Structure 1
């Protein structure tokens, strides 16, 4: 039997990359999937891919940094499918690579608004519903940059460390209410975000794989599906004792 039959799952930032792979994976396990992103064409494409595979999904555009958008997003999930069992807060941006003293206030604010405030607002709305419903599971997508530093990416690093902190606090506050909150910390993953960082870091001289493969002990970057598999497991009943965990999925990167 599929792991998420008759369950409803919300995935933010699911127009591409890890979010899309996660949405597709949940749908394959029987979930009703609420796909959300600011990229409407990409989000609708994710929904079309789920429908093509005989899955169930809907799209709702939402800016996770806007409290009204977030409230409407969670309300739509509940109205359409009758509840919200799991949520994956994945929406995020990387911003600009620059030395600490050259980082602009605008870049800092944009990253913190989407990555940290977005996760905070989504968790608030999701937890409020899960409290009324009697429980649920939330997975936040942090990063290895939420565990260690990366020169040139100070606002991004700060935002992802903050997500780890929010995850731990929410997990402690709501564990007894049967709401499990955990986070995953991807390393180099074959996504558009990693391509953007490689372009900035090498001025196009190297691809993301050329730049990042040698940095991972496993000898390669990861795939979005490899991250999605962990997220899906954390939301399942198989991970019933996982609470407040911040888990690297990084080919050994932070073990070095």
Structure 2
């Protein structure tokens, strides 16, 4: 018996990092997984790894900033497996730590399109499906930037704070419909999200002083599998009474 036996789960950003570890862990625990990502090559690698273990995964290309692609992603899960039990909003990108005076419109809009709007589209589509079938679970993978002000730039911090609000509101509004919504707030985690940082070789003295110096108090960097294990708990029936919670997973970084 697995902790996710026969549950249908969509995981975004599932081809690498935390999302990949979530997909592999959920499969090991008996879930039927729809792995969504924007990178076809990495999805193919994931599928090959899963097949080598004698398992099956459904993969789909989905740019979560595109509402139509998100809706298609949810519908694919329903068409393939007949229902949707869990949505893990994991996909995201990072800003370049800019304070608000340095943020350009293009960078702000990109962060909001992916890290906020993309999660909104997924949550809306999932909730609409959950209401049809009698319940479901949303796990939002956010950041301690959603509960603190000095862990990222203004754009990323604003988007992750908004995710906290969406999580709490959704948990409250649909609690009587057997729909749960929680958020993980990881700290620094060893993933490939650094690919989205851009060039940090010439960051301003303000960023070095106000952001980078604080990183020195981080007890340790998490591994992606450690965040995946938190997601598994929140997605499973073991957390049936947990709703509207923000679970920090940062080795105590934000406790200072």
After superposition, the Cα gap between the structure-2 partners of 1:129 and 1:19, relative to the gap in structure 1 and judged at 3 Å, is same
Q: Which stretch has the larger CA shift, 184-193 or 41-50?
A: 41-50
After the TM superposition, which residues 66-105 of structure 1 pair with which residues of structure 2 at under 5 Å, given as runs?
Answer: 66-105=66-105
Aligned-pair distance for 1:102?
Answer: 1.2
Q: Which stretch has the larger CA shift, 106-115 or 193-202?
A: 193-202
Aligned-pair distance for 1:215?
Answer: 2.6
After the TM superposition, which residues 182-193 of structure 1 pair with which residues of structure 2 at under 5 Å, given as runs?
Answer: 182-193=182-193
Provide, for residues 62-92 of structure 1, a one-character-per-residue CA deviation record: whole Å limited to 9, x for no partner: 1112111111111101111111111100111
The total of aligned residue pairs comes to 248
Aligned-pair distance for 1:43?
Answer: 1.9
Question: Secondary structure of 1:200's match?
Answer: coil
After superposition, the Cα gap between the structure-2 partners of 1:5 and 1:212, relative to the gap in structure 1 and judged at 3 Å, is farther
What's the counterpart of residue 215 of structure 1? 217
Question: In the alignment, does 2:27 pair up with 1:37?
Answer: no
Q: Which runs of 5+ in 1 are unaligned?
A: 204-209
After superposition, the Cα gap between the structure-2 partners of 1:198 and 1:56, relative to the gap in structure 1 and judged at 3 Å, is same
After superposition, the Cα gap between the structure-2 partners of 1:63 and 1:98, relative to the gap in structure 1 and judged at 3 Å, is same
What's the counterpart of residue 206 of structure 1? none
Q: Distance in 2 between matches of 1:37 and 1:196?
A: 15
Provide, for residues 126-179 of structure 1, a one-character-per-residue CA deviation record: whole Å limited to 9, x for no partner: 111111111111100110100101276110000111111100001111111001
What's the counterpart of residue 131 of structure 2? 131
Question: In the alignment, does 2:53 pair up with 1:53?
Answer: yes
What's the counterpart of residue 206 of structure 2? none
Tell me the TM-score normalised to structure 2 length. 0.91
What's the counterpart of residue 159 of structure 2? 159
Aligned-pair distance for 1:212?
Answer: 8.8
Tell me the TM-score normalised to structure 1 length. 0.91
What's the counterpart of residue 110 of structure 2? 110
> Is the 8 Å Cα contact of residues 145 and 156 (structure 1) preserved in structure 2?
yes
Q: Distance in 1 between matches of 2:60 and 2:23?
A: 13
Question: Secondary structure of 1:95's match?
Answer: coil
Question: Secondary structure of 1:35's match?
Answer: strand
> Is the 8 Å Cα contact of residues 97 and 201 (structure 1) preserved in structure 2?
no
Q: Distance in 1 between matches of 2:130 and 2:49?
A: 28
> Is the 8 Å Cα contact of residues 100 and 152 (structure 1) preserved in structure 2?
no
Aligned-pair distance for 1:4?
Answer: 1.4
Q: Distance in 2 between matches of 1:21 and 1:34?
A: 13
Q: Distance in 1 between matches of 2:76 and 2:114?
A: 21
What's the counterpart of residue 209 of structure 2? none
After the TM superposition, which residues 3-14 of structure 1 pair with which residues of structure 2 at under 5 Å, given as runs?
Answer: 3-14=3-14
Q: Distance in 2 between matches of 1:67 and 1:77?
A: 16
